[in-house]
Amino acid sequence: MKNAYYFISDVHLGYGPKDDNVLKENVLLHFLDYIKADAKELFIVGDLFDYWMEYKHVVPKGYYRLFAKISELVSEGIKINYLAGNHDFWRGTYFKEEFDIDIVFDEIIREIDGKKFFIHHGDGMAYKDTGYKILKKIMRNRFAQFMYAKLHPDWGLGLAKKSSHSSRMHTGQKDYTKHDGLRDFGEMKIKEGFDVVIMGHRHRPLRVDYDSGTYINTGDWIDNFTYVVYKDKKIELISYYNKKENKYKQETIKAVG
């Protein structure tokens, strides 16, 4: 029976050397095959791609195997939910027209088995993130996107790649050690009445259980290859692939205090 809900984020396809990208895509395809047996829905919680700039008749080259697999999952009745992250939010109609997948630009609020879920990529939630919030408003402005679309695709995609690098540097310089803004935001949403808060963005898998709910950061698919699954009223944060050992090795990540 298809009754499982899966969550992944921060795959960043297109980032790094070619060999790393081939590995990421291979592991991701393996994972998508794995979830076909029981998946009811898949949530992509932002940054599937490291950069994405879509034109009316042009999209970034590559990713044929991934798109074929996504089409296969959709044809088998698995609903795919796509939240835009800070690297892949500049989207047009390609995903809707080709796969009937809607792009969500803010949060998803859902009730599953009577539990209230709050799902968000997490960008803009870190402390001292005012600069990014301003940039986000500019980048998502329709006029800015219209003007950007007037650039030749080679120029536009090149600029998108540079912008992606700048965004990663900005995120990497955030100090999450003392005050994790995403975790604190998750705790706040739980106090507001949500049972489960799922976010990505920071590339560090984390689960925190509170008295009235659970906060989970999905991690990433650059180093950790982690995912979240909710099934039979139970939620888990799981490592799917061990990069150091170069093998598929599912291990549950325990909650921290």
**136-153 per-position pLDDT tens digit:** 565 566 666 666 566 655
* Model pLDDT for residues 106-126, shown as the tens digit of each residue: 899 999 999 999 999 998 776
Phi and psi at 94, nearest 5°, equal: -60, -50
Q: What is the pLDDT of residues 5-16, one digit of tens each?
A: 999 999 999 888
pLDDT at 118 (0 to 100): 99
Query: Nearest CA to 88 among 32, 11, 203?
Result: 11
Higher per-residue confidence, 144 vs 52 = 52
- Which pLDDT value is given to residue 136? 58
Buried b (16+ CB within 10 A) or exposed e, 117-152: bbbbbbbbbbeebeebeebbeebeeeeebeebbeee
- Contact between 2 and 38 under an 8 Å Cβ cutoff? The reply is yes
> Which ranges of 5-127 would DSSP assign to H, the alpha helix?
18-35, 64-75, 94-99
The pLDDT value recorded for residue 140 is: 61
Asked if 43 and 4 touch (Cβ cutoff 8 Å), the reply is: no
Q: Which residue intervals of the chain are DSSP H helices?
A: 18-35, 64-75, 94-99, 130-139, 142-148, 153-172, 181-191
Instruction: Work out the pLDDT band at 180, boundaries 50, 70, 90.
Output: confident
For residue 215, pLDDT beyond 70: yes
pLDDT bracket for residue 86 (50, 70, 90)? confident
Q: Where do the domains of the chain lie?
A: 4-252
| CATH 3.60.21.10 is held by the domain 4-252 | yes
